[in-house]
Amino acid sequence: MAKEKGLGIVVKSAGVYALDGSNASVNAIRALREDNIDISNHRASIVHRDLIEEADLILTMGKSHKDILVSKYGFAQDKIHILNEFIYGIEKDIIDPPFGGSIQVYNNTKYELYNAMEELLKKLMRGEF
């Protein structure tokens, strides 16, 4: 999405509870395949200090993730935000944490994230970060 809009940004994904090297869940693969996005070769990675240090902005799915990162990497607290907090100004988690959920839960999360990413890109294009 960022590339399509001409934004030269690097996006990385890492999880607070991720198991390094694990595959994406079956329902995550199914949900994204519906939009012709293939994540079957994706492997999870856990958040580590180097990622935190190199990041300009860190967006989490929810408050518990933010709290864990701030607790562990207090030096970076000013750049760690809940996604919805950063975009919409509300401290609200993504609707449902999808991990282990039904395909419907994954689809709901996918649509919420897609909308949030659209808003994030608008914010970045306006220079609001």
Would the pLDDT of 21 be above 70?
Answer: yes
Would the pLDDT of 128 be above 90?
Answer: no
Reported confidence tier of residue 95, pLDDT bands at 50, 70, 90: low
CA angle 68, 7, 36 (to 5 degrees): 80
CB-based burial, 33-49: b 16+ in 10 Å, e otherwise: eeeeeeeeeeebbebee
- In angstroms, the CA 29 to CA 41 distance is 10
- In angstroms, the CA 97 to CA 119 distance is 20
Q: Give the CATH number of domain 26-124; options: 3.40.50.2300, 1.10.8.60, 1.10.1200.10, 3.40.710.10.
A: 3.40.50.2300
pLDDT mean across residues, the chain? 91
Amino acid at 33: R
Whole-number pLDDT of residue 55? 96
pLDDT tens digit string along 41-83?
A: 999 999 999 999 999 999 998 899 999 999 999 999 999 999 9
Would the pLDDT of 117 be above 80?
Answer: yes
Q: Which residue has better confidence, 5 or 114?
A: 114
Across 2-6, average pLDDT: 73
Judged by DSSP in three states, 28 sits in: helix
In contact, 100 and 25? CB cutoff 8 Å: yes
Whole-number pLDDT of residue 5? 72
Whole-number pLDDT of residue 75? 98
Q: What is the DSSP string of 86-129?
A: HHHS-----SS--TT--HHHHHHHHHHHHHHHHHHHHHHHTT--
What ranges do the domains of the chain cover? 26-124
